[in-house]
C-alpha cells in the first residue's frame, strides 16, 4: 500500500540483493514522517505495518536507593525491569555508575549532597516530549508512548514531607499539565508522608488534593520504610492499576513495582460555534444586493460556499477552576483540613439553598445532582407558596406543581380549539405592517448554521427598512 506521506529511507539497503538470506527484514524498513505507519519491503513487496492501536501495559518502578553510589544498587534497579524506573534521593552519582544505566534524566542539587532523582525509560517505547522542574529534587515529564499515547510522569522526592512542599509540587504540576490530561498522570516516589496515618494533616491534605484532581492514591499493603508507608503513587482516572507490589531492596526503602495500563487515546472533536462577525458581514452584503426574498437566499447561499472555511470559530477550552483546590494549595502549614473543607461546602450549600427558591433554581438543582449524587427523577421536594411559606409535604407539593403547569398552559383570554380547524389565509402585508412586525421581534440572539444575522431586525440602522422592502 503506497501513500502520499514522504518516506525517509534508512541506508541504501534496497540496492543490495534482497534474496540474500543473511540480510534481515528489518534492513528494509522505510520510516514515514507519520509515526502511526511504517512500510516494510520484503520478498513480497511493500506492506503496511500499523503502529500500536490498542491499550498499552507498562511496568513502573519507584525506589529510594539512599544514594546511588554502588554498582550493586545500579544492577538492582536494572533487574527490576521497569519500562519506567523512578529513583529518588540518588545524591550526586558518579558518571562511571551512570554509564551502566540505559537512557536516563538526572536531577541533582547544585550545592551539597543528598536529595536528587533519576528517571530511566524504555527508549523503544517512550520519547520525552517536555520536562519541568517541580522542586530541587523532582521533575515532571511528558512522555509519548508508541507515538500516539500521552503519559505524564512526576518523579517525586519531598525531603521533609512538609505541607508547603506538598502544596508547591501540586501547584507546579497544575501549572504545567493541561487539565484535560490530568487523567494521564503518574506521580510517585518518596513523599516522606505516611499515607496510612489518616490523622496526619499532611495525609489528609494529600487525599483531598488527589480527590479534587480525580487522582487515585495507590500504595502497598505493608510498610515501605520501617513502620511507615512513605513510598506510594498517584494515578490519573484514565490509568488502570493492574497490580502493585513492594519488595525488599538494598536500602531501607522497599522498591515498588506497578503494573499499569494506558488506554488508547480518543480525541474529541473541537468545540465550534458559528462565526458571528462573518454572519453580520454576509447578511448585510446579501441584503444590500437583494431585491426580493429569493435573491436574498441565493446571495446567502453563494456567500456560504465562498466562505466555508470561515463559517465556524473554534472555542477555547474552559480553564480548569476549583475554588476548594485553590484554597488548599495556599496552605503552608498543618492546618485543620477537615474544618476548611467543611466551611467551604457549608457556604456552597447555603448559597445553593438561596438559589433553589429563586429564578436561578435550574443551576441550584444541577448543584444538588453534582454534589449530592442525587439522580432521582423527582428532585422538587419543597416549594414556596404565594405567602412565602415553604411546603415540604409530597402530596401538597405535587398538587401545587400540577396546578402551576395547568395555569401556564391555558389562557382563558384566547379561544380554545377543541376540534381541528383549517389554517387561516391571511392577507398580504404591506411595507408598513412588515416594518411594525420587525420592530417587535427581539434581536441579539444566537445565530444558526445558515449564518443569517439579526441585522435584518436592527431598527437602529437601515436593516429593518431594507428588510421590509426586500421581503
Alpha-carbon distance 118 to 73, whole Å? Answer: 13
- Given CA atoms 338, 339, 344, 348 in this order, what sign does their dihedral have? positive
Arithmetic mean of pLDDT, 416-444: 80
| Widest CA span in the chain | 98
Q: Can you read off the three cell numbers belonging to residue 402?
A: 400540577
CA distances for 149 relative to 36, 83, 261, 303, angstroms:
11, 15, 11, 41
Indicate the pairing of strand 117-121 with strand 126-133. Answer: unpaired
Residues whose CB is less than 8 angstroms from the CB of residue 330 and which lie 6 or more positions away in sequence, other chains included: 167
Alpha-carbon distance 69 to 90, whole Å? Answer: 8
Task: Answer for the pair 279, 451: CB distance below 8 angstroms, yes or no.
Answer: yes
Residue 410 has pLDDT above 50, yes or no: yes
When pLDDT is cut at 50, 70 and 90, the band that residue 130 belongs to is: very high
Alpha-carbon distance 238 to 452, whole Å? Answer: 42
Calculate the CA 318 to chain-centre distance: 10
When pLDDT is cut at 50, 70 and 90, the band that residue 380 belongs to is: low
Q: What is the pTM of this model?
A: 0.72
Task: Answer for the pair 186, 151: CB distance below 8 angstroms, yes or no.
Answer: yes
Q: What H or E segment, with its residue span, contains residue 56?
A: strand 56-63
| Residue closest to 156 by CA, chosen among 142, 143, 166 | 166
Least confident of 148-157, 203-212, 421-430: 421-430
Q: 169 by DSSP, 3-state: which? A: helix
Residue 46 has pLDDT above 80, yes or no: no
Task: Answer for the pair 123, 83: CB distance below 8 angstroms, yes or no.
Answer: no
Domains of the chain: 7-50 (no CATH), 56-262 (3.60.10.10), 275-315+421-470 (no CATH), 321-379 (no CATH), 380-412 (no CATH)
Calculate the CA 357 to chain-centre distance: 34
Residue 376 has pLDDT above 90, yes or no: no
Alpha-carbon distance 64 to 71, whole Å? Answer: 15
Q: Which of 327-336, 356-365, 383-392 has the highest mean pLDDT?
A: 327-336
Alpha-carbon distance 32 to 4, whole Å? Answer: 10
Residues whose CB is less than 8 angstroms from the CB of residue 60 and which lie 6 or more positions away in sequence, other chains included: 82, 83, 84, 85, 86, 153, 186, 188, 233, 257, 258, 260
Amino acid at each position: 500500500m503506497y501513500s502520499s506521506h514522504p518516506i525517509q529511507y534508512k541506508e541504501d539497503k534496497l540496492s543490495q540483493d534482497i534474496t540474500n538470506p543473511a540480510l534481515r527484514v528489518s534492513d528494509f524498513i522505510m520510516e514515514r514522517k507519520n509515526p502511526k505507519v511504517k512500510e516494510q519491503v520484503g520478498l513480497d513487496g511493500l506492506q503496511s505495518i500499523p503502529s500500536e492501536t490498542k491499550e498499552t501495559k507498562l511496568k513502573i518502578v519507584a525506589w529510594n536507593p539512599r544514594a546511588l553510589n554502588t554498582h550493586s544498587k545500579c544492577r538492582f534497579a536494572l533487574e527490576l525491569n521497569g519500562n519506567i524506573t523512578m529513583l529518588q534521593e540518588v545524591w550526586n552519582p558518579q558518571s562511571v555508575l551512570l554509564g551502566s544505566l540505559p537512557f536516563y534524566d538526572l536531577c541533582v542539587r547544585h550545592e551539597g549532597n543528598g536529595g536528587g532523582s533519576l528517571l530511566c525509560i524504555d527508549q523503544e517505547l517512550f520519547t520525552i516530549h517536555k520536562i519541568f522542574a517541580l522542586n530541587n529534587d523532582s521533575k515532571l515529564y511528558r512522555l509519548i508512548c508508541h507515538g500516539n499515547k500521552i503519559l505524564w510522569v512526576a518523579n517525586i522526592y519531598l525531603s521533609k514531607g512538609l505541607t508547603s512542599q506538598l502544596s508547591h509540587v501540586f501547584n507546579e504540576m497544575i501549572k504545567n499539565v493541561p487539565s484535560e490530561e490530568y487523567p494521564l498522570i503518574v506521580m510517585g516516589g518518596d513523599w516522606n508522608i505516611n499515607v496510612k496515618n489518616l490523622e496526619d494533616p499532611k495525609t489528609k491534605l494529600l487525599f483531598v488534593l488527589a480527590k479534587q484532581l480525580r487522582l487515585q492514591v495507590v500504595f502497598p499493603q505493608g510498610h515501605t520504610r520501617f513502620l511507615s508507608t512513605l513510598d506510594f503513587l498517584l494515578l490519573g482516572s484514565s490509568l488502570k492499576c493492574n497490580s502493585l507490589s513492594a519488595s525488599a531492596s538494598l536500602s531501607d526503602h522497599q522498591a515498588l513495582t506497578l503494573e499499569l495500563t494506558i488506554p488508547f487515546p480518543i480525541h474529541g472533536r473541537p468545540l465550534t460555534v458559528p462565526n458571528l462577525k462573518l454572519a453580520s458581514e454576509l447578511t448585510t452584503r446579501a441584503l444590500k444586493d437583494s431585491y426580493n426574498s429569493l435573491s436574498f437566499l441565493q446571495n446567502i447561499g453563494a456567500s456560504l460556499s465562498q466562505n466555508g472555511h470561515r463559517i465556524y470559530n473554534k472555542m477555547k477550552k474552559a480553564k480548569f477552576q476549583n475554588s476548594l483546590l485553590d484554597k488548599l494549595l495556599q496552605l503552608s502549614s498543618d492546618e485543620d483540613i477537615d474544618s476548611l473543607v467543611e466551611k467551604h461546602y457549608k457556604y456552597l450549600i447555603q448559597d445553593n439553598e438561596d438559589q433553589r427558591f429563586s429564578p436561578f433554581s435550574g443551576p441550584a438543582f444541577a448543584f444538588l445532582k453534582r454534589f449530592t449524587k442525587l439522580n432521582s427523577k423527582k428532585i422538587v421536594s419543597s416549594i414556596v407558596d404565594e405567602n412565602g411559606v415553604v411546603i415540604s409535604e409530597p402530596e401538597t407539593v405535587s398538587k401545587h406543581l400540577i396546578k402551576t403547569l395547568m395555569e401556564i398552559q391555558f389562557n382563558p383570554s384566547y379561544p380554545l380549539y377543541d376540534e381541528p380547524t383549517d389554517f387561516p389565509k391571511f392577507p398580504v402585508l404591506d411595507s408598513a405592517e412588515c416594518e411594525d412586525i420587525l420592530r417587535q421581534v427581539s434581536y441579539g440572539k444566537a445565530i444558526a448554521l445558515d449564518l443569517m444575522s439579526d441585522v435584518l431586525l436592527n431598527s437602529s440602522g437601515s436593516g429593518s427598512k431594507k428588510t421590509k422592502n426586500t421581503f
